[in-house]
Structure 1
């Protein structure tokens, strides 16, 4: 029998310690680890993904442009998700992220683990301490670099890192959509529900503590509002319907310290709204069943760090033409009312959409601290004004920022330099790393490897100019930037003499129209489901992706697959050869092969 008890202690040493396992933190960890950095990833929830995890179920959203969809590791996640989970079960999405992280030998993953303390001077963090609830273990992590991807900015509370909370005034920022006076208000947090259409009526009895909304006027028709404002309280759920995002509170309170109280209030509202949809008025949802209610609200805004650069409304509206561009946005400046559900007049609406160009560039300077020399951050807590972060906060954009953080940290680890040194000496390398990882950067083409330019190909001059132009996605319906080849075609590289070929890089068409993936309008933006009607159609691997291909070196078969479902392929070769040939055998349905990149290095 055990009669003596003690708290376990574990110590870790890493190159990079990342706090927060949402999309930005998870992608940062994978990116840095794949480039050789030893990473500890600390996540205070049992699953990865943050707001898009099965615990919250907010849809991933990003740039609005038809051809501006976010790629990189986020695309890798989605492609795995579609292949493994065509019915889009939320918990299987969790497993995709978990599996990717656990497969990476350079990552130590600590789930259910909360950062509690930090050791820091005025200019540098040396260690953090975290508590893992499930194992009653204290973890101490010493690292050369730290990254706060927590969303709430925990290291702003535990270190001297400069940060801010609330809305700036016009006098400080010069922003036209800023407030006349600064305040401590933020955007609120939303609590989602998930329902499913069945083939028979399903009764619903609300808990006695739920609020009662007898008519739409109790929450949907804003007094004195134009008709257009009532759409902000749309409750026509369905496969491509509203996700009830407007069940939102907390922006006029403290989005951190009042979070538990706000959760309780949101639950009363959420059950009351579902009771209204089911039982009060003819909404046509008799056959719908409430399958899931979130108990963890998804936050939009809390603490923001101050970095080397602070992104503003004016810079977004001007297109973000930065020399150190490392990511892009394209969601409107979607400024949610701090009052959330209780905003109730025509001039006090739940959200105001201020236009933003798509895409606009985001600079590297928003990702590292102005006063803590080894601190990165990515996600909704980057260095941006309240107005600017109302656009950058969406998860597609945060994913690109996380990948930039991971690539920058890997450079720092390799060179033994500080984040600010990347800005002065390695920004070109960082941009090319982003591009090589399949991410688009406005105004920055990918450099074609020297070995590819050195080799002769079997392509015509026109084909080669298209394939090697460094722009690896369509930019308009007319400017597709892809080489279209017949099935069975080959791309051949011939060198004057055998040389070491390190890798082959391929980029296939992931169907930017999304038409071959799903007919469901909402899921064409990103393949996640929430409310599901009987019209739901399982997702399919994009028809335009190449499914089967072979690689030959000097006439000998080096690699083949008949079940590829990824758009970006980086195939290690590490073999000396004079010729390299890629043969494209089959797609997932398209008649032709669509190539954005095919090169050797």
Structure 2
């Protein structure tokens, strides 16, 4: 179809995801792998959002940079992190872009539109019928009709386009009885940030700032004083502005001010700082031009997560994910002098973990609208914890699986909660998504199965918990060439085998240029690299280059026994396995 002299392309899908950050990627892939047709629309040339090469932020989550052991997110987030560790040991963000692109582009059932901004939505009653985007590179309009839509755009673009209820800013203390909220509601948000990257060239490098850059002659002109910019490789989170402006409509203006600040800070480091001798050989090699946003619109869902929900550990009947990052409430005023340091951000402790309910992932008034990530349904205080990308990713995975159930059952997201919440929870656990206080349930051909191993009690592999919890490992530890055998009650058709290996949850696993002492720089040494699978004594699968924790292997025939022999790791003489089951 031609609109004027421009082309309008029309597409249909079961599930349309707007926004390709971590939440949107996980929503799209999880729905697609569960058999529904997905279209993912993303307004940038690369996927990843704040984690992409355009912004280069590490994916933080409930483990709080591994301060809390065994709390990092599994499922798709773990899959992407391990893939990146395997293929991108030098932590090049463009390679990470490529890995995310491959995950989406070559996933069966996903049609990807990059460089496409959502412009409009057509609704009927309380449902969205279709959305239209503009693809900058092809100068085409892209129209998508779908059964369910999921807004993972961060800015909640479908809210004003569809009439979905949303809010911006901080709620008053009395509205949700939140002790940390202000006495009066206000429209202020957290600001946005531009980072930089620098490298040691091994020889002196001069820096002449742009004439329009800000000037910071004293360390006391900057947050945290002299200690706040000792590490000069990759910029600072406190280069933050815009919280008292509109973080959507004022973005261009805020970006201009952030660039003045970034260049001014580098000028300070090179030319004015008391420690400038340390930076003599350092040179800028990248400056972020697209600000990384923290907060804008938040949808109002069936449930609005609050500070008190988090304090009570979030033990919801419809729990589908978890958080653990502290309530990290940045001051809306943004960057300021050292006397401002006490309020640049305030960390309020949270229980670790706390539960995230399905009710905060779908709209209160638009029946077929879901969301995940920083635009999910939460008060400002709760959002200050849930906003991090690791948490957003597992929200997205939950939303994608829920959408697949809704499509197959021909129901709304609200009806998934009412009728199929246990199915959703068990589907997520089966896909290696951890849900606190719930255990995996085994049925069908696993009933009466006997598990044995070369050492230890193999029954731990079907105890329903696939990570260490409360000092209990829930893991079978084996030496190289150890084995595990599953004998079914009787011979029956087995579609596939699932294994969950030890990827060393106690370690820090991030895509970050900030290398910490406990951060994995190569694949976990205990992770199984090589293994052999036999069915009724015959080899059906071998691997000598595994680098994933969660592994599915097709079987496709009638068998009685299945045996897995672990023949090699990525460096350790010992390894571990959390789960083995067939279906």
- TM-score, normalized by length of structure 2? 0.95
Contact 1:337–1:348 (CA<8 Å) still a contact in 2? no
2:266 aligns to what SS in structure 1? helix
Contact 2:320–2:356 (CA<8 Å) still a contact in 1? yes
What are the superposed Cα offsets for residues 195-252 of structure 1, whole Å, 9 maximum, x if unpaired?
Answer: 122322222221111111111011235xxxxxxxx58x7112256xx74100000110
Deviation of 1:348 after TM superposition, in Å, equals: 6.5
Pairing 1:26–2:25 present: yes
5+ residue gaps in structure 1? 222-229, 515-523
Deviation of 1:449 after TM superposition, in Å, equals: 4.2
**517, 525, 536: which is aligned to 1:554?**
536
Contact 1:449–1:600 (CA<8 Å) still a contact in 2? no
**455, 469, 473: which is aligned to 1:480?**
473
What is the RMSD computed on CA atoms of the aligned residues? 2.1
Q: Is the alpha carbon distance of 1:547 and 1:371 closer, same or farther for their aligned partners in structure 2, counting shifts above 3 Å?
A: same
Pairing 1:452–2:451 present: no
Deviation of 1:273 after TM superposition, in Å, equals: 0.3
Q: Which moved more, 1:315-324 or 1:242-251?
A: 242-251
Deviation of 1:122 after TM superposition, in Å, equals: 3.7
In the other structure, the counterpart of 2:577 is 595
Contact 1:447–1:470 (CA<8 Å) still a contact in 2? yes
In the other structure, the counterpart of 2:222 is 219
In the other structure, the counterpart of 2:290 is 296
In the other structure, the counterpart of 1:412 is 406
What are the superposed Cα offsets for residues 13-66 of structure 1, whole Å, 9 maximum, x if unpaired?
Answer: 000111000000011000000101101100000000000100011111111321
Q: Is the alpha carbon distance of 1:525 and 1:216 closer, same or farther for their aligned partners in structure 2, counting shifts above 3 Å?
A: farther
Pairing 1:264–2:256 present: yes
Deviation of 1:6 after TM superposition, in Å, equals: 2.4
Q: Is the alpha carbon distance of 1:551 and 1:536 closer, same or farther for their aligned partners in structure 2, counting shifts above 3 Å?
A: closer
Quick one: distance in 2 between partners of 1:443 and 1:329? 13
Quick one: distance in 1 between partners of 2:442 and 2:572? 27
1:87 aligns to what SS in structure 2? coil
2:308 aligns to what SS in structure 1? helix
In the other structure, the counterpart of 2:238 is 246
1:274 aligns to what SS in structure 2? helix
Quick one: distance in 1 between partners of 2:492 and 2:520? 46
Number of equivalences? 575
2:146 aligns to what SS in structure 1? strand
Deviation of 1:448 after TM superposition, in Å, equals: 2.8
Contact 2:16–2:39 (CA<8 Å) still a contact in 1? yes
Contact 1:56–1:297 (CA<8 Å) still a contact in 2? yes
2:178 aligns to what SS in structure 1? coil
**481, 490, 499: which is aligned to 1:506?**
499
5+ residue gaps in structure 2? none
Quick one: distance in 2 between partners of 1:203 and 1:447? 63
Superposed, 1:323-334 pairs within 5 Å as 323-334=317-328
Contact 2:220–2:337 (CA<8 Å) still a contact in 1? no
Contact 1:88–1:539 (CA<8 Å) still a contact in 2? no
Quick one: distance in 2 between partners of 1:443 and 1:249? 39
- TM-score, normalized by length of structure 1? 0.92
What are the superposed Cα offsets for residues 137-158 of structure 1, whole Å, 9 maximum, x if unpaired?
Answer: 0011000000100000001110
What are the superposed Cα offsets for residues 120-139 of structure 1, whole Å, 9 maximum, x if unpaired?
Answer: 13410000011001000001
Deviation of 1:462 after TM superposition, in Å, equals: 6.5
In the other structure, the counterpart of 2:424 is 430
Quick one: distance in 2 between partners of 1:205 and 1:378? 43
Deviation of 1:459 after TM superposition, in Å, equals: 3.9
Quick one: distance in 1 between partners of 2:8 and 2:519? 49
What are the superposed Cα offsets for residues 269-292 of structure 1, whole Å, 9 maximum, x if unpaired?
Answer: 000001111111342111222110
1:206 aligns to what SS in structure 2? coil
Quick one: distance in 2 between partners of 1:392 and 1:343? 28
**215, 218, 228: which is aligned to 1:234?**
228
Deviation of 1:411 after TM superposition, in Å, equals: 0.3
Contact 2:454–2:484 (CA<8 Å) still a contact in 1? no
